[in-house]
Amino acid sequence: MKKLIAAVAASLLMMSAGAQTVPAPSIAAKSWLLLDATSGQVIAAQDPNARIEPASLTKVMTAYVVFGAIRDKKLALNTMVNVSTRAWKVDSSSSKMFIDPATPVSVDDLLHGLMVQSGNDAAVALAEAVAGDEGTFVVLMNREAQRMGLKNTKFANPHGLPSPDNYSTAQDLAQLATNVIRDFPEFYKIDSVKQFTYNKITQQNRNRLLWLDPTVDGMKTGHTESSGYSMIASARRPNGASGQRRLISVVSGASSDAVRTQESQKLLNWGFQNFDTVKLYSKGQAIATPEVWKGSQGSVKIGFTNDVLVTVPKGVAGKLKPVLERKDPLVAPLPRNGRVGTLRMMVDNKPLLVLPVVALEEVQEASIFGRAWDSLRLMIK
């Protein structure tokens, strides 16, 4: 099943370039990417697999691991954490939420300090609360990265301060952001908080798009002298009769806070204005019911294990034409979710995307007499 889902995602990503008929905007950044999180398609990108220093974008994975610990009841939002000297003394010149070893702090406050204030001290305190020490927590971060398939990502710490062993790509960070929003929507809301006060110190969220665009609800900014200015931004806007549509932009290596904000907004606007996301098929919907040979039943419903959505330039959706290619003859036994063919979505006789088609139900073998009869039929067919 996992391989099949991966095949669907790979097909969407491979074909997205073919769908690109709208010139991408010029973006003042070293590496960038725009992902339609609703369909899973990359709409446009520049050097998306180039290794980059994620800086404080690292904290998105830190948050993901903490969210998982809360889900697994290893700690709770109201768990009080004792602040270690190590957390308190983290690089004094870097961003902090100003926790104090003399005052325990809740996990909830630490998460706000992490994602709203970008506190490196909060990152260390959370790492120690979850895993006991930073090193063990980093192992958990890299384990999650591997599980997510982030092949070009490695973490060396929970905060993103410079290290040669702390790196990622725009492609991987977009996938990480998608996973946070999908897996922990209740915690993702923290990213939209505009300011947070702790220890009588109020700090604003560094994501300026939260003030400029009401559809933006996250996610994180980053900056070091060596990496430049970076941002993961996410927005939801109406998608016609299909409900809401979410885009995620990743910009890395911009020259200033203002530039990363401007270019992220440019990418989001361009994606929403020039593309539509359409639902082609629903999960479990039978797109055909072909004949089955030597089976306990004469036909089988075929379709997809997940909703199938595609992002296309505006005006293209009406031109989509499906072409089904089956592995005929279909001979029992057929396992449920076993691949039985391919569906090609064509535009002007050119493939836009290719999707694996599966059996939506199991078909067992017929009796010995049924198999013999169908064998004879196949011989004379």
Catalytic sites, residue numbers: 56, 59, 118
Spatial CA neighbour of 265 closest among 28, 95, 84 = 28
Three-state secondary structure of the chain: CHHHHHHHHHHHHHHHHHHCCCCCCCCCCCEEEEEECCCCEEEEEECCCCCECCHHHHHHHHHHHHHHHHHCCCCCCCCEECCCHHHHCCCCCCCCCCCECCECEEHHHHHHHHHCCCCHHHHHHHHHHHHCCHHHHHHHHHHHHHHHCCCCCECCCCCCCCCCCCEECHHHHHHHHHHHHHHCHHHHHHHHCCEEEECCEEEECCCCHHHHCCCEEEEEEEEECCCEEEEEEEEEEECHHHCEEEEEEEEEEECCHHHHHHHHHHHHHHHHHHEEEEEEECCCCCCECCEEECECCCECCEECCCCEEEEEECCCHHHCEEEEEECCCEECCECCCCEEEEEEEEECCEEEEEEEEEECCCECECCHHHHHHHHHHHHHC
Residue 190 to residue 274: CA distance in whole angstroms? 30
